[in-house]
Amino acid sequence: MAYSEKVVDHYNNPRNVGSFGKDTPGVGTGLVGAPECGDVMKLQIKVNLDTGVIEDAKFKTFGCGSAIASSSLATEWLKGKTVDEAAKIKNTDIVNELKLPPVKIHCSVLAEDAIKAALADYREKQAVADARASST
Amino acid sequence: MALKFPIFMDSQSTTPADPRVVEAMIPYFTEKFGHPASRNHSFGWEAETAVDRAREQIAKVIGARDPKEVIFTSGGTESINLAVKGVAEMYREKGNHIVTTAIEQRASLDVCKRLERHGYEVTYIPVRPDGLVDLETLRQAITDKTILISIMLANNEIGTIQDIAAIGRLAKEKGIILHADATQAVGKIPVNVEAAGIDLLSCTAHLIYGPKGVGALYVRRKAPRVRIAPLIDGGGHERGMRSGTLPVPLIVGFGRAAEICGEVMPEEGLRLAGLRDRLQDMILSNVDEAYLNGHPERRLPHNLNISFAYVEGESVLMGLNKESALSSGSACTSSTLEPSYVIGALGASAELAHSSIRFSLHRFTTAEEVEHVGARTIEVVKRLREMSPLYELAKEGVDLKSIHWKAE
């Protein structure tokens, strides 16, 4: 199977590889997939707590080239979006952008799951922080 | 010598034809085009002579007593089908049980599955972590209904070479027919059907630098005389076991390929084992948590199979595929979307099955190619680990098994 140019580009030059400290304020972490399935994605967002805008995003992925490309693309798209806007990214957008073949659609699904998990983690941490702030 | 890309290191999927093989074949397409079953003219006789010569060449490389024991087929898959289904049908009244292993190639497993749907019983015995069949396990799997033991001589993924002679003795003791799938072994390591007590043996030309589209099934004629029901009915060619006009050019090429393998085997085996060992040392000494799959000694000289923990196989191949051709046990590279059942059967985790890479060297592999592929593999694995969340977690001291993974 030949890969699309965009998949090859993301594979060769992955954007935003790396990690943030999980407990840093404003950071949301999503870890999805399973090693035995051959795909694990860790996707993190760093939200500006004043503006609610995602200032930075990072990923690390264990998986095939398409999984790496899907998560790399996701971090690119997340940057500059608000948390609510980010929630609207769909796996089909990733499929179209990377021209993923049907057999690789699960990679895009996993990337969408990773985004959602990171956003949920961020919101949960914020809720805890807010509760703590209001109780003091 | 300058390297020529891409470098082919996938010789257990197929091999390039040896130019000497192609040269031997060419006259049989044009001037010597006769039908070997034409009994009444020189074209037929010439073709028959050529086929008989090839039969001798193949008989010699597998240690068969009589060239007539070699039946030509379209390849390894057909040979396996003919052997297993042929015995199943012919000996149906004697029993309906077959013993095979969990690490056979797809053709064998699928034939067995089909037979199971037709009332046969098949026991797929597990193998040891090094890929070897445990003789006691095999012995215990045998019942009074067992008519066939079908076992691959050398494995296509991990290269593990079975103690086929010991298995042959057990089969003989129990009076059971032994089929050896020797598609990966013939021409690469010494194979002797007499010494090993093999009754049926499958092999193919395209894995020994011969053409695609031709294979052979060895069928023992004496002690015991093995009978098989044909899959293809027709003109009764090949002693009635395989009808159809023989593809003379392919057969001539197969014979020549077998002959060359027989001549060069000791030297070629040593050379390839040396290169393979170099590749293995290079990788294992430069990459942590890289695991050799299969038996460290009892394996094909041209095979190397390594699992790289924390990186997925297809992504490794993607990093290498511009300049080299390898294969992986990763689900992403298989048509079934399942990771390698062979690596899985060794007791390795599914993650390590996804992470396995097979390097298979061949007659034309050079030391420079090995150095290049080794160095690039190390680079790619290291780069991918830098972006692997599993590697990061492991380095932080997290036990990956302690994490509750949310699969899709």
How far A92 CA sits from the closest chain B CA (Å)? 16
Cβ B22 vs Cβ B389: under 8 Å: no
Cβ B165 vs Cβ B195: under 8 Å: yes
Domain boundaries, chain B: 8-12+265-392, 19-260
pLDDT, one tens digit per residue, over B67-81 is: 999 999 999 999 999
Of the candidates A8, A22, A24, A37, the residue annotated as catalytic is A37
Backbone angles phi, psi at B174, to 5 degrees: -95, -5
How far A85 CA sits from the closest chain B CA (Å)? 23
The structure tokens listed for B294 are 């299969």
Which residue in A31, A68, A113 is closest to B387 by CB distance? A68
Residue range B8-12+265-392, CATH number: 3.90.1150.10
What distance in Å separates the CA atoms of residue B362 and residue B271, rounded to the nearest whole number?
A: 10
Average pLDDT, integer, range B146-157: 98
Report the chain A residue with the minimal C-alpha distance to residue B314.
Answer: A64
A21 touches chain B (CB under 8 A): no
B31 membership: H or E segment, kind and range: none
Tell me which chain B residues have a C-beta less than 8 angstroms from the C-beta of A32: 406, 408
Look up the pTM and report it: 0.94
Average pLDDT, integer, range B292-321: 96
What distance in Å separates the CA atoms of residue B308 and residue B291, rounded to the nearest whole number?
A: 7
What confidence tier does A136 reach under pLDDT thresholds 50, 70, 90?
Answer: low
Q: Which residues in B have their CB inside 8 Å of a CB on A?
A: 310-312, 314-315, 318-319, 330-332, 337, 339, 349-351, 354, 386-392, 400, 403, 405-408
Which residue in B330, B351, B388 is closest to A60 by CB distance? B388
Q: Choose, out of A9, A36, A62, the residue to mutate when testing the contact with B (most B CBs < 10 Å).
A: A62
Q: Give the distance from CA B164 to its chain's centroid.
A: 14
Report the chain B residue with the minimal C-alpha distance to residue A29.
Answer: B389
How far A51 CA sits from the closest chain B CA (Å)? 29
- What is the reported pLDDT for B408? 47
For residue B248, is pLDDT > 50?
yes
Cβ B316 vs Cβ B9: under 8 Å: no
For residue B406, is pLDDT > 80?
no
Residue range A5-128, CATH number: 3.90.1010.10
Q: Do A42 and B318 touch (CB under 8 A)?
A: no
Which residue in B315, B403, B407 is closest to A63 by CB distance? B315
pLDDT, one tens digit per residue, over B186-210 is: 999 999 999 999 999 999 999 999 9
pLDDT, one tens digit per residue, over A25-52 is: 999 999 999 998 899 999 999 999 999 9
A20 touches chain B (CB under 8 A): no
How far A130 CA sits from the closest chain B CA (Å)? 28
Average pLDDT, integer, range A84-97: 96
Tell me which chain B residues have a C-beta less than 8 angstroms from the C-beta of A8: 318
What confidence tier does B405 reach under pLDDT thresholds 50, 70, 90?
Answer: confident
Cα→Cα distances B4→A33, B9, B18, B226, B367, Å = 39, 13, 18, 48, 13
Closest CA to B216 of B238, B249, B245: B238
Cβ B312 vs Cβ B332: under 8 Å: yes
Tell me which chain B residues have a C-beta less than 8 angstroms from the C-beta of A36: 349-351, 354, 405
What distance in Å separates the CA atoms of residue A74 and residue A53, rounded to the nearest whole number?
A: 15
B376, with CB counted inside 10 A (0-12, 13-18, 19+), is middle
- What is the reported pLDDT for A47? 97
A·B CB contacts under 8 A: 88
Q: If you write DSSP's letter for every residue of B358-385 in order, what string do you get?
A: EEE--TT--HHHHHHHHHHHHHHHHHHH
Q: Do A65 and B318 touch (CB under 8 A)?
A: yes
Cβ B332 vs Cβ B149: under 8 Å: no
**Which residues of B have a catalytic role annotated?**
332
Strand bridging mode B7-8 / B97-101 = unpaired
What distance in Å separates the CA atoms of residue A10 and residue A84, rounded to the nearest whole number?
A: 26
pLDDT above 70 covers a percentage of chain B that reads 98
Instruction: Annotate chain B with three-state secondary structure.
Output: CCCCCCEECECCCCCCCCHHHHHHHHHHCCCCCCCCCCCCCHHHHHHHHHHHHHHHHHHHHHCCCCHHHEEEECCHHHHHHHHHHHHHHHCCCCCCEEEEECCCCHHHHHHHHHHHHCCCEEEEECCCCCCCCCHHHHHHHCCCCEEEEEEECECCCCCEECCHHHHHHHHHHHCCEEEEECCCCCCCCCCCHHHHCCCEEEEECCCCCCCCCCEEEEECCCCCCCCCCCCCCCCCCHHHCCCCCCCHHHHHHHHHHHHHHHHHHHHHHHHHHHHHHHHHHHHHHHCCCEEECCCCCCECCCEEEEEECCCCHHHHHHHHCCCEECEECCHHHCCCCCCCHHHHHCCCCHHHHHCEEEEECCCCCCHHHHHHHHHHHHHHHHHHHHCCHHHHHHHCCCCHHHCCCCCC
A68 touches chain B (CB under 8 A): yes
For residue B336, is pLDDT > 80?
no
Q: Do B408 and A61 touch (CB under 8 A)?
A: no
Which residue in A17, A42, A106 is closest to B386 by CB distance? A17
Q: Do B318 and A3 touch (CB under 8 A)?
A: yes
Ramachandran region, residue B153 (left: φ > 0; alpha: ψ -120 to 50; beta: rest): alpha
As beta bridge partners, residue A17 has A59
Average pLDDT, integer, range B155-165: 97
As beta bridge partners, residue B307 has B291, B356
What confidence tier does B407 reach under pLDDT thresholds 50, 70, 90?
Answer: low
Domain boundaries, chain A: 5-128
Cβ B343 vs Cβ B313: under 8 Å: no
- What is the reported pLDDT for A1? 61
ipTM confidence score: 0.93
A38 touches chain B (CB under 8 A): yes
Which residue in B354, B388, B400 is closest to A38 by CB distance? B354
How far B354 CA sits from the closest chain A CA (Å)? 6
Residue range B19-260, CATH number: 3.40.640.10
Average pLDDT, integer, range B312-317: 94
